[in-house]
Amino acid sequence: FANKVAVVTGGASGIGLATAKQLAARGAHLVLVDMQASALGPAARAVEAVGKGRVETRVCDVSNHAAMQALADDIVKTLGGVHIVFNNAGVAVGGPISEMSHDDWRWIIDVDLWGPIHGVEAFLPHMKAAKAGGHILFTASFAGLVPNVGLGPYCVAKYGVVALAEVLHRELRDDGIGVSVLCPMRVGTNIGSSERNRDSRYGGAESS
């Protein structure tokens, strides 16, 4: 991990921040990406406290394809490349499928499934062109392996993330790029309050 550049979406809290600290402690340079600008400063200081590498922050909405492309281009230009991409950002809405609004579905799919897809589209070409190997990680969920009552849209998105990771794992073997997918049970994160970042496009308040 020494001197490798690692990008972590949803990097200002939870699994993303904990992983960033572990990577920094092992000598990696970190780029913490999050929707919540106010959380990035404290997160960066926490990462800097455990490592000696460079720590950068970026505000980016993973559901925005153009923004993710621009993010990848900027990181490669600024830090010289990217070796580890952790597609971790995610949101959740609970309740029966019969009570889900169309905006609920759009928000979950756009962030939890399109977000990881955008991460692959944005960063994988740079990684393949560099021919330096690397690793792509995804946070899915146990809800991406078994059906969970009350988490229908989330399950649909996370099943897709698991499929994306498993296909990429096979496709990238010859490129020396590893692929992993994390499928945790309940973890102490902020996903339970993810509505804080739900903006008006999806029937929520503008994100701060």
Catalytic residues: 154
Which residue has 């740079």 as its token pair?
A: 126
> Residues 157, 108: contact at Cβ < 8 Å?
yes
Which residues in 95-151 belong to E strands, given as ranges?
Answer: 134-139
Which residue has 């830090």 as its token pair?
A: 79
DSSP single-letter state for residue 108: H
Which residues on adjacent β-strands are paired with residue 59? 34
Cβ-count burial 10-24 (b if 16+ within 10 Å, e if not): bbbbbbbbbbbbebb
> Residues 32, 40: contact at Cβ < 8 Å?
yes
The 10 Å Cβ neighbour count of residue 99 is: 11
Instruction: Return the structure tokens found at 43.
Output: 């997160």
Which residues on adjacent β-strands are paired with residue 87? 138
Tell me whether residue 169 is exposed, middle or buried, using C-beta atoms within 10 angstroms of its C-beta: 0 to 12, 13 to 18, 19 or more.
Answer: middle
> Residues 46, 16: contact at Cβ < 8 Å?
no
